[in-house]
């Protein structure tokens, strides 16, 4: 009985830590994928962010639950394949990007092959994973107010002008400055909650059970089959590219067999550091009205094209690098 009690006491905290990491990461990835990005539907489908509190909370819960499925492709891949280097983390991020744009929505298949990169890799990996999930967390853990403030203001300056990108063709209603202000502060509240869950309760280890892995795989496959029915050859792009990356990550285990990315985030963010993140919506809310009044908007290609180029180069380089190093390792042995 003592042994059983000890196992239960160990299992429950580990399960709580994994759930905190998963749901916290889902909130962070949701923010940078949909809200910081300001999806073209932001002025329509995401009205709950500027509606009554009940609608806002319902929206937050529903979207977070969906994003736990997409996020699991990243967290489970990092854990299973001990991803810690830039190349392996980047590839794990690609799985998140393709899951986000290819399981529930058909964006990934809209204009192949380019839609394999944008926004799945160009935005979701470079901005959402590497900037939002990794870099911002690293800065927060430094507990240096000046760095956190500088990063938040920089992100706010970008957010304020990027929020104008869908004005180009006039298809969607613009958010007024007041609406954008409420939108940005509520969105940042969700993101900050995500960082708190990850950094204070997620821990530095993430070891999912086989049941968790198979659960998320089964749910993902079922949703993909249902939402994409009737299947066409285009929809097969998701299992093909995901299979290639998963195989590369499995080969990469021969090169990386130590601690994974989760163990790199030691320490704890001070509570006073989190409120500084609200300099991001504050800055965006101060600059957005200027663009609104002057009818200045940012052509999305200015941001999208460089991210597409970088994302493509890094994806190809990461795959080639893994297979080349594995081949060299085997020939030497």
- Nearest Cα neighbor of 194 from 269, 142, 298 is 269
The reported pLDDT for the residue numbered 331 is: 87
- Contact between residue 77 and residue 92 where contact means Cβ atoms under 8 Å apart: yes
The reported pLDDT for the residue numbered 175 is: 87
**What letter does residue 241 receive in the DSSP assignment?**
H
Distance CA 68, CA 208 (A): 14
Distance CA 323, CA 333 (A): 15
Distance CA 90, CA 314 (A): 8
Element (H, E) at 131: none
Distance CA 20, CA 160 (A): 30
The reported pLDDT for the residue numbered 203 is: 85
- Nearest Cα neighbor of 97 from 302, 307, 324 is 307
> Residue 75: CA atoms inside 13 Å, Cβ hemisphere, count?
31
CB contact set of 301 (below 8 Å; sequence gap of 6+): none
The reported pLDDT for the residue numbered 12 is: 45
**What letter does residue 333 receive in the DSSP assignment?**
-
pTM above 0.85, yes or no: yes
The reported pLDDT for the residue numbered 134 is: 97
DSSP strand E in 100-247: where? Answer: none
CB contact set of 107 (below 8 Å; sequence gap of 6+): 101, 115, 119, 120
The reported pLDDT for the residue numbered 185 is: 95
DSSP 72-124: HHHHHHHHHTT--SHHHHHHHHHHHHHHHHHTSS-GGGTTTTGGGTTTTTTTI
- Nearest Cα neighbor of 97 from 202, 236, 241, 217 is 241
- Contact between residue 260 and residue 82 where contact means Cβ atoms under 8 Å apart: yes
The reported pLDDT for the residue numbered 92 is: 98
The reported pLDDT for the residue numbered 288 is: 97
Q: Tens of pLDDT along 69-116? A: 999 999 999 999 999 999 999 999 999 999 999 999 999 998 889 999
Task: Sort residue 20 into left (φ over 0), alpha (ψ -120 to 50) or beta.
Answer: alpha
**What letter does residue 130 receive in the DSSP assignment?**
I
Compute, in degrees rounded to 10, the torsion defined by CA atoms 156, 158, 160, 164. Answer: -160
- 10-residue mean pLDDT series, the chain (333 residues): 37 78 97 88 60 83 95 96 95 98 92 93 98 97 97 98 85 85 94 96 89 95 88 88 97 89 90 97 98 94 97 98 94 80
Q: Which residue has the tokens 């297979």?
A: 323
Q: Which residue has the tokens 């901005």?
A: 127
The reported pLDDT for the residue numbered 44 is: 57
Q: Tens of pLDDT along 269-305? A: 999 999 999 999 999 999 999 999 999 999 999 999 9
Distance CA 289, CA 49 (A): 18
Distance CA 203, CA 284 (A): 32
**What letter does residue 52 receive in the DSSP assignment?**
-
């Amino acid at each position: 009985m003592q042994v059983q009690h000890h196992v239960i006491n160990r299992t429950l905290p580990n399960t709580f830590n994994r759930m905190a990491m998963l749901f916290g990461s889902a909130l962070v990835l949701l923010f940078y994928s949909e809200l910081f990005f300001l999806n073209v539907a932001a002025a329509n489908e995401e009205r709950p962010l500027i509606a009554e509190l009940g609608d806002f909370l319902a929206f937050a819960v529903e979207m977070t639950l969906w994003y736990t499925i997409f996020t699991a492709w990243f967290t489970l891949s990092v854990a299973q394949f001990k991803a810690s280097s830039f190349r392996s983390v980047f590839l794990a991020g690609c799985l998140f990007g393709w899951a986000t744009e290819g399981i529930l929505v058909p964006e990934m298949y809209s204009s192949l092959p380019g839609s394999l990169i944008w926004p799945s890799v160009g935005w979701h990996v470079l901005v959402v994973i590497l900037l939002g999930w990794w870099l911002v967390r690293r800065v927060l853990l430094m507990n240096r107010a000046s760095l956190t403030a500088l990063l938040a203001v920089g992100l706010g300056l970008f957010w304020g002008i990027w929020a104008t990108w869908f004005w180009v063709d006039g298809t969607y209603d613009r958010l007024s400055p007041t609406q954008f202000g409420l939108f940005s502060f509520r969105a940042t509240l969700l993101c900050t909650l995500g960082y708190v869950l990850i950094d204070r309760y997620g821990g530095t280890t993430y070891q999912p059970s086989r049941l968790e892995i198979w659960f998320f795989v089964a749910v993902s496959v079922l949703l993909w089959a249902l939402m994409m029915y009737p299947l066409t050859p285009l929809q097969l792009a998701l299992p093909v590219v995901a299979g290639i990356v998963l195989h590369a990550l499995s080969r990469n285990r021969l090169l990386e067999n130590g601690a994974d990315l989760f163990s790199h985030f030691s320490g704890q963010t001070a509570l006073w550091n989190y409120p500084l993140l609200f300099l991001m919506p504050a800055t965006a809310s101060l600059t957005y009205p200027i663009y609104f009044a002057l009818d200045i908007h940012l052509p999305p290609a200015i941001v999208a094209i460089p991210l597409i180029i970088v994302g493509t180069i890094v994806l190809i380089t990461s795959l080639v690098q893994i297979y080349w190093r594995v081949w060299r390792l085997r020939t030497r042995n």
